[in-house]
Amino acid sequence: MQAPIRVLSDSVINLISAGEVVERPASVVKELLENALDAGATEITVELEQGGRKSITVRDNGCGMSRHDLLLSVQRHATSKITQQSDLASLMTLGFRGEALPSIAAVTHFSILSSDGSEAWKLRMDGGELRDVSPAARTRGTTITASGLFYNQPARRRFLRRQSTELSWVEKYVTGCSLARTDVSFKFIHNGRELFYLVAGQSVPERLRSRYGIPGENRYVESKGNSGKTDVKLIWFPDNRWNRKTHQYILVNGRLVYAGLISGPLDSALAGPAGYPLLFCSVVIPPGFVDVNVHPAKREVRFREPSSVRSAVESALGDLLDSRKKAMLSPTGSGYRVASIRAEKTGKLSEGLFRTAMEIQAPLPAGGYDRSESAFPIVQIGRSYLVTSTETGIALIDQHAAHERILFETVMNSIRDGSESGQQKLLLPENVKLDGEELDHLEDYRAVLNRAGFEYHIEDDTLILTAVPPGTFHGISALREILRSLQDPENEDMPLQERVAAAAACAGAVKFGDSLSPVETRHLVDQLFSTSDPFHCPHGRPTLIEISFEDLEERFGR
């Protein structure tokens, strides 16, 4: 028989609500930092013991509270941030629900010491029950201490992770807040040891360098994008990478959030097997176009016009890659210069069947190359890497990864255009015997493979290949790699066209050990820098490594 329906007691309601807002020490720090910033603080100190499991203290020099406001602050849904429903559409503060302090107080030994500049008071609570309110001494601002997190909920406490894990989550949020508010100083202390101190007035790149101890010679790239009412700013340190996204910061109107709509394009363009780069992404959008009230802990947001936000992010990504190209390549001709790539084939570069064949296989830009003295030479080493000079140092290029990027974009353009302009006729057709399953798959995917630039016909059990995507070196291998990729269940989530293009690029690109002539090496580098992202292959691996002259001088002890 079902038990009768009862109204829950206030203590149980408080614990349920607290469970929605407070998940771990980082949740407590997040709420207290938001309150400190909303209170106008310019100096904030966060101090933890045992990753926050033992105690969490946040001190600020904000506006502080009177005794009356202090008592109201621990009442559920008591807030100074909003007064009516319409205020939710124009939120300019980080907090607004009035749930943070009572939720934290419900699961900790809790105290607030606060002064509005005229008087100071201290409030103590245990498990949500008020113990004491008494006069105290403090300069203007607030100090909040929460100790023994989940002391009254042993089951919840057992779910907390080890000290280092909880500490890393707190560090993530404190750093995110510091990037949103560079006008505020942040000090972070753990077990009595200062882990970092970020002074007020730093720029975002300076704050990231200070936070992560990044030397001045490590480059960063900054870009901006816009679409409709959405503005995006990206700052990217391409040489500082980790195997997790812990060091990527996405802020929407100054609030650190998780947003797949934003992180998806960022990961596709900038991440890969080499890891996730240090990244700052700030999205500014009118308050009425974003809903921050969709998650109890305000971690996630919902956009009124998601397509506009995605377009703004993609716009910033395009600008970011262009900025990195400009940072690497000389605009004045004093360093390596990229020749413009055109679709038309050129006349003969040199005599001889081999040269002519290579020219057809990898057509050169119209008018040939700029042979001026200012164009640095490109040298192949180990039949695997290309080395050239830039205005600020040297570049080491992975010839296979670079050619993969070129072919991937060539094939994708051919698929989208669906024209024979994306085909390169072979002087001598290639042929190979295939089994029945492979031949069946070739027939199943003939339409998309034709659009990609492959042209073939089948005679009995023999494939005869007559055309490949421009620049493809290994046509039969490319087709077989495409068939393998199309049957691999791990690639099911990737769009069919991208699977075809990525597999064709990987198999059709020049390999480690393939010898390239000086003409071919220059052509490959020129084509690489005409792509949308010359710094990553389709799988996200880097195509090149840059070494500055300053780094070389340091290594040689100059």
31 pLDDT above the threshold of 60: yes
Do 397 and 294 reside in the same domain of the chain? no
Question: Which one is predicted more confidently, 102 or 99?
Answer: 102
The contacts of residue 228 (CB under 8 Å, 6+ apart) are 305, 308, 311, 312
65 pLDDT above the threshold of 90: yes
Residue 546's domain is classified under what CATH number? 3.30.1540.20
* Assigned domain for 145 exists: yes
Do 392 and 461 reside in the same domain of the chain? yes
* Assigned domain for 196 exists: yes
* Of the candidate ranges 58-67, 254-263, 441-450, the one whose mean pLDDT is the lowest: 441-450
Q: Which two tokens stand for residue 422?
A: 């994306």
Nearest CA-CA partner of 403 in 471, 451, 328, 453:
471
Do 196 and 255 reside in the same domain of the chain? no
* Of the candidate ranges 140-149, 315-324, 448-457, the one whose mean pLDDT is the lowest: 315-324
State pLDDT tens for residues 396-442.
999 999 998 988 888 888 777 765 556 788 888 888 887 777 788 78
The contacts of residue 267 (CB under 8 Å, 6+ apart) are 245, 276
Is residue 62 classed exposed, middle or buried when 0-12, 13-18 and 19+ CB atoms within 10 A define those classes?
buried
* Assigned domain for 506 exists: yes
Residue 317's domain is classified under what CATH number? 3.30.230.10
- Domain of residue 137, residue span: 10-202
Kindly report the backbone phi and psi dihedral angles of residue 250, in degrees, each rounded to the nearest multiple of 5, phi listed first: -110, 120
Q: What is the model's pLDDT at position 12? A: 54
Domain edge (last residue) among 202, 232, 267: 202
Nearest CA-CA partner of 318 in 4, 547, 535:
535
* Of the candidate ranges 108-112, 276-280, 318-322, 360-364, the one whose mean pLDDT is the lowest: 360-364
Do 379 and 454 reside in the same domain of the chain? yes
> Residue 62 carries which side chain, given as an amino acid letter?
G
345 pLDDT above the threshold of 60: no
Q: What is the model's pLDDT at position 2? A: 59
3-state helix, strand, coil in the chain (%, to 5): 40, 25, 35
Specify the number of domains making up the chain: 3
* Assigned domain for 344 exists: no
Mean pLDDT within 300-312: 87
Do 314 and 355 reside in the same domain of the chain? no
Q: What is the model's pLDDT at position 283? A: 95
Q: What is the model's pLDDT at position 137? A: 95
Do 184 and 228 reside in the same domain of the chain? no
Burial 211-241 (b: 16+ CB within 10 A, else e): beebeeeebbbbbebbbeebbbbbbbbbebb
> Residue 363 carries which side chain, given as an amino acid letter?
P
Question: Which one is predicted more confidently, 354 or 385?
Answer: 385
Percent share of the chain, pLDDT over 70: 79
Mean pLDDT within 376-391: 86
51 pLDDT above the threshold of 80: yes
**Other beta carbons less than 10 A from residue 45's beta carbon:** 19
234 pLDDT above the threshold of 60: yes
State pLDDT tens for residues 349-359.
333 333 333 33
Q: What is the model's pLDDT at position 11? A: 58
Do 87 and 180 reside in the same domain of the chain? yes
Do 451 and 503 reside in the same domain of the chain? yes
Question: Which one is predicted more confidently, 189 or 548?
Answer: 189
Question: Which one is predicted more confidently, 222 or 275?
Answer: 222
Do 158 and 108 reside in the same domain of the chain? yes
Nearest CA-CA partner of 99 in 13, 185, 163, 222:
13
Determine how β-strand 129-135 pairs with β-strand 43-49. unpaired
Do 365 and 253 reside in the same domain of the chain? no
Do 435 and 299 reside in the same domain of the chain? no
Do 229 and 110 reside in the same domain of the chain? no
Confidence category of residue 542, pLDDT binned at 50, 70, 90: confident
The contacts of residue 265 (CB under 8 Å, 6+ apart) are 310, 313, 314, 317
Query: Does residue 142 contact residue 62 with C-beta atoms inside 8 Å?
Result: yes
State pLDDT tens for residues 182-219.
999 999 999 999 999 999 999 999 999 999 999 887 77
**Other beta carbons less than 10 A from residue 253's beta carbon:** 19
Ramachandran class of 232: left when φ > 0, alpha when ψ lies in -120 to 50, beta otherwise: beta
Query: Does residue 263 contact residue 235 with C-beta atoms inside 8 Å?
Result: no
Residue 185's domain is classified under what CATH number? 3.30.565.10
State pLDDT tens for residues 489-518.
666 656 777 778 877 788 778 888 888 888
Q: What is the model's pLDDT at position 341? A: 31
What average pLDDT does the structure give for the chain? 80
Global pTM value: 0.62
* Of the candidate ranges 290-294, 373-377, 430-434, 495-499, the one whose mean pLDDT is the lowest: 373-377
Percent share of the chain, pLDDT over 90: 34
Mean pLDDT within 357-385: 57
